[in-house]
Amino acid sequence: MKKSAATAFSALVRRDLLLAYRYRAEIVNPLLYFVIIVSLYPLSVSSEPKVLATIASGVIWVAALLSALLSLDSMFRSDYEDGTLEQILMSPHPTAVLVLAKVTAHWITTGLPLVVIAPLLALSLHLDAAAFPALLLSLLIGTPALSLLGAIGIALTVGLRRGGLLLAILILPLYVPILVLSSTAIQLAAEKVPYSGPLLMLGALSVLALTLAPLATAAALRISLR
């Protein structure tokens, strides 16, 4: 990455973080949604610790996935409405680099808080202590991929007034492998079985998303703004 592109990257990340701080409700809402989903499962399924421990990995990751989906609209929507997105596409810097900057800011404000609060919610679900490292690693590796893949979907639907359902249809199939690998790693860790295999596959998916998603998102934005 050239120096000028790196400067543009850091400047755009700082801008989006400042905007997120000014509009803190957009950060809090997905986090509250995450907490509510996890908290409702013991009420609707069972309060037995063994039952909760069995489903804890799936519950936490389903909640994280839905919370990430809820937060995607904030990635490009406001920039599209005020014309900033067009200026980003007209920038002399590589669009993929600027897209990656926006995805990075999105993950810091929405994905990272989920990583921080997830262990507390895992305690409420009686997740085995042996599974906590796998939980944190899966979230640290998997949530960036959620933001990267979600950026493609929101870029394709940013010009639509009611694109929420279409966004879900486009993105949820891409999220399924992340959900399966992450929950499998946590379950294996809880059973005290080596869990590096699913995490390595999850890491490969995240690297693939990091490599291709910014390019795909940049192309999708150009299509949407034509």
Write down the pLDDT at residue 184.
92
Give the mean model confidence (pLDDT) for residues 116-122: 90
**φ and ψ of 99, to 5 deg:** -65, -45
Residue 90 pLDDT greater than 70, yes or no: yes
pLDDT band at 149 (very low <50, low <70, confident <90, very high): very high
Residue 95 pLDDT greater than 60, yes or no: yes
CA–CA gap between residue 180 and residue 103 (Å, rounded): 23
Write down the pLDDT at residue 124.
85
Mean pLDDT across the chain: 87
CA angle 102, 221, 70 (to 5 degrees): 55
82 exposure class (CB count in 10 Å sphere: 0-12, 13-18, 19+): exposed
pLDDT band at 3 (very low <50, low <70, confident <90, very high): low
Written as one letter, the residue type at 86 is E
pLDDT band at 2 (very low <50, low <70, confident <90, very high): low
Write down the pLDDT at residue 150.
92
Residue 162 pLDDT greater than 80, yes or no: no
Give the mean model confidence (pLDDT) for residues 50-55: 84
**226 with 164: CB under 8 angstroms?**
no
What would the pLDDT profile of 186-209 be if each residue is shown by its tens digit? 999 988 899 999 999 999 999 999
